[in-house]
A and B are shown apart, each in its own frame.
Chain A
C-alpha cells in the first residue's frame, strides 16, 4: 500500500532524473501476450503527455536512488550537492509503474540510478526491478534501463533480457573536457558497456536466425546523450561523435541536452542565464539530416564552420553554401536531390516522386502537398516560372546567397540567435 511518503520520494527522484532527455518508447513492436499486460507499438512510440516545458512524457522517467558516489561537475546529483535524497523500494516503484500503466499514463519505465556502493550493487537493483516487473507482474510494456559502467557481464546480460532499450551517456564529446569536469570518469568506461551490449545484441540476432524462439536481447537497441554548452566543445566535435555512434549497428538515437546551470558555484562550468535552446535545436536538426536526409557530417559542419549557424537551420545553411547544387528540377531530379531542397521534407518528397509519374508537378501542386514554398521557391524549378521578361526567375543563383539569407531569416529568429550568442560570450570570459 502506497502512501504520501512514496509520493514525496517520487517527486524527489523525478526531479533528479529530469535532466536526462531520452524519452522515446520507439524501436520495437511487440503485441500483447496472453496472461500479460501491455504491448509496445513501435513507430514513433506514444507520448502520453507534454510537460509545461514542452518535453514529452512517454516513459515514467525516474531514478531508483539519487545518492551517488561520483562528483561529476555537470550533474545535479553529484555527491557534494546539498539536495534532498531518496531511494525507492522495489515494491513501491513496481506498484507505481503498474498502476500508472493501467491508467494509460505511461508507455513503460525509464529507470536510471545514482551509483551507490559499487556498480554491481547498483546494477543488481535495477535488474531486480525489471525482473519483478516482467516475471511477477507480467508486464509486457516498454522498459529502458541505464547500463551502469563497470557492472559485471552477468548482470548486464540479465538486464538485456528484460529491457527493450539500454543506454549509457557519453555526456561530453571530448575526453579532455570530460576529464576536466568528471575526473573519476573516462570515455572508455562509457564505451565498454556499450560495446558489451552491442556484442550481445549481434550474437542474439545470429541465434535467432537459427532458433526463432530465442528471446530477444535489447530489441530496441541503445541510445546515448551528450550535454551541450557545458564545455567549450564545438558542434563539429559533437556531431562527429554522433556520426561515429550512428555507424554502430545498435545505436538508434543520440540525444542532445542543452546544459541547465544546476551547479552554479562550480568555477569549471559556464554560468548560463538560459540553457542554449537554439543550439540544441540546431543540433537535433543536424542529427535528423544525418539520419533521414542522407547528409554526411562533414557536409553539415566543416573546419570553416565548426559551429552551426544559429540563425538558419543546417539544411538551409548547407544550401546557402552550395548554390551550385541548385535549382533542383522537381519533375526530373532524383529523390535524394529533392530531399535536399530547403522547405521540402521527407513526406512531401515522397508525394512528389509518386505524383510526378502522372503529370507535371507545378508550384500549385507543391503548395497543396505541404511544401514550404516561402523557402523552397528560391531553390527549385518546375519550368513554369519563365514567362518572359514580365516575371524573371528569382532563385539562389540570381540573388546570391548573401542577399538571399536575410530574406529567409525572421526578426524573431535573429533576436533569439543573438541572445544566445551573447550568453556564449559570457562563457568565453569565464576563466577556466
Chain B
C-alpha cells in the first residue's frame, strides 16, 4: 500500500495530487503528517506543500469542473474531518484522468469518492445554515454586537457574507470559541482577528456572555424579553422535545440566549 503524508492544508492536498502525477504513482491513501500509519503500509511519500504547484492543480480543476463542484470541494475541506482526506484526494485525482474540458464526473454520485465528498460538503453547508439560525448577538456599550459560536466544522468563513449583507449598519464580531479566531466588521469591511491575550477577552468563552462592565445597559432587558417570548409561544398541549432536539441539537444551546 502506498501512502502519501501531507500537512492537512488545502494547498498540501493539491500538491499531493501534483506529486502523484509527476511521480506517476497512484497512492491508496492520504493522511496527515505524524498520524499512525496503517497496517501493511509499504511506502510513505512525504508531500512538500508548494503554492505554485497547488495553483497549477487548481487551475486545472477550474478548467474541468463547474463552479458548484469547485465550491463543494472547498466547502467539504472546511469540515476538517480526517476521513475526508482520501476521498477528496481520489476525487481530484480522478478528475485529471478524464480528458481535458468539462468532465461530468462531478455528477456521478454512484462513485464512492464523489458521493463521500458531496455528503461531507452537505454536512458543512448544513452547519453553516445553523450558524445563521442560532448565532445570538449581544450589544456592547460601544455599539458593537458580539456573537460567540463553537461549530463542529470550520464554517465561520462561509457565514460572513450573510452577516455583512444583513447587518451592514452595525459593527459586529463573530467569534469561534473552539478555533479561537473571529471576524470583525466595522461597517466598512470584514477582517479576521485573533486575541493575543486570552485573559483580556471582554467576554466569557464558556457562556459567550459579555462582561458586565462592557455590556450595554438595556441588553439584559431584551434578553429577558426574548426568553419570555420563547416560553410564551410554546403550546403546552403539543410538547415535543424530541423534535426540538433534532432541529436544534443540544450542542448549540450553550451560547443561545433563550436556553441559557
Contacts and interface: CB of A to CB of B under 8 A. Distances in A.
Nearest to A354: B107
A52 B241 contact: yes
B107 A99 contact: no
B166 A39 contact: yes
A141 B169 CA distance: 14
A275 interface: yes
A2 interface: yes
Contacts of B135: 104
B170 interface: yes
Interface string B84-120: 0000000000000000000010011111100100000
B221 A2 contact: yes
Interface string A263-284: 0000000000011010000000
Contacts of A55: 233-235, 238
A365 B232 contact: no
Contacts, number: 162
A37 B167 contact: yes
Contacts of A15: 232-233
A355 B229 contact: no
Given A2-B221, A32-B168, A54 B230 contact: no
A10 B229 contact: yes
Given A38-B166, A361-B110, A49 B134 contact: yes
Contact of B232 (A11, A38, A50): A11
B247 A51 contact: no
Contacts of B224: 7
B139 A54 contact: no
A357 B105 CA distance: 11
A102 B234 contact: no
Interface residues of A, number: 61
A105 interface: yes
Given A52-B244, A100-B222, A368-B115, A7 B228 contact: yes
**Counting chain A CB atoms within 10 Å of each CB, which of B111, B168, B242 scores highest?**
B168
B162 A51 contact: no
B234 A18 contact: yes
A35 interface: yes
B136 interface: yes
Nearest to A19: B235
A51 B233 contact: yes
Contact of A18 (B228, B233, B247): B233
A374 interface: no
15 contacts: A2-B225, A34-B168, A37-B167, A37-B168, A37-B169, A46-B129, A49-B258, A55-B233, A102-B137, A102-B145, A103-B137, A105-B257, A260-B237, A275-B235, A277-B238
Interface of B: 104, 107-112, 115, 129, 132-139, 145, 147, 162, 164-170, 218, 221-222, 224-226, 228-244, 247-248, 256-258
Interface of A: 1-2, 6-7, 10-12, 14-15, 17-19, 31-32, 34-39, 41, 46-57, 60-62, 96, 99-100, 102-105, 141, 258, 260-261, 274-275, 277, 351, 354-359, 361, 365, 368-369
